[in-house]
Amino acid sequence: MDLGTRPLGHTGLDVSELCFGTWRFGRETGGQTETTKAEAFAILEAFADAGGTFIDTANVYGTPSGRSERWIGEWLADRDRDRFVIASKVYFPMDESHPNGGGLSRRHIRRQIDGTLQRLDTDYLDLYYIHRWDPTTPITETMGTLDGLVTDGRVMYLGASTMAAWQLMKAIGTAREHGFEPFRVTQPLFHAGYYHDVEAYLQVCASEGLAVCPYSPLAGGFLTGKYTRADPADPTAASGPDGSRADIDDRFAEYYLSERGWAVLDAVRAVADELGATPAQVAVRWLMQYPDAPVIPIIGARDPDQLADTLGAAAIELTQQQYDQIMQARYDAEGRVLRSG
């Protein structure tokens, strides 16, 4: 499977049509390491061999924080760095005990970009997201500091991760008012079962020409189809393979299991059967065909085989009827949006 490329919004960069997210690299959950170093290198190699060029990480990914960035840097050491577009993030503390170790202050951003570049073993970062909105730091200070990183060449482009639509607009307006480098890319939670919740945010992205790189495009693995409903009366009751996220992550049911989720999964499965594809491929393809903004989903994988399955999303195409079938699954018979939790 050879991935094609897509423009990354108005950055002038072309990236692979799928981005690989490394939040599992070195992460310990429930006493288990989700992806070991050897597994991480094998997955990155398979992604690159398939034409993947866009890799996403964050300063706090891994246990301890920074392990994901460090592993990516080691993997890149034997490769042409300029062929890859690397994204990282800033906001969360690397050290919970540090009184000024988090947020989006001038001090924290400048300290964290230096650490990120060191761990990645590179002198520039292609894309730097703010990981969350910081209510304690004036957005003028944050945007001005980020603008300085672009000016001095340590960062090429800026992005915004999880936040409300009004916060995104406030940041855009601040950059416009002061002549700062604006956000060019966004990273919201967005998947086939989670649209109306983020609709206003997506409308801002469309109106401003921002690229959208959704995280958790498979709803934490729920939309892969590996889970079945365990109790018709309780949408949060699911059964799945041993060691799956539902077993090791207490937040799984809260985030992903709902009447809306099961209805959307049923539609995804039906379309997958029509296409001879997997539910994971259909769910990712649905995002790729979002009509109002350029969407480059951030996918994950435990191993190269799982990666290969998800990359198959680039080889299928949904008809308009199939796309609408998945979109409409979130409504009840009276046209009301089903509950998401």
61 is catalytic: yes
Eight-state DSSP code of residue 92: S
Q: Are 88 and 120 in contact (CB under 8 A)?
A: yes
Helix/strand/coil for 43? helix
Angle between helices 165-178 and 199-208 (to 10 degrees): 20
- Written as one letter, the residue type at 244 is S
Altogether, the residues listed in the chain come to a count of: 341
Question: Does residue 64 have a cis peptide bond before it, meaning omega lies within 30 degrees of 0?
Answer: yes
Distances (CA, A) of 205 to 120, 124, 165, 187: 29, 26, 9, 10
Residue 309 in tokens: 């399955």
| Phi, psi (degrees; rounded to nearest 5) at 266 | -60, -40
Report which of 26, 63, 21, 27 is spatially closest to residue 44, judged by C-alpha positions.
21
61, 128, 227, 323: the active-site residue: 61
Q: Would you please indicate which residues are annotated as catalytic (active-site) residues? A: 61
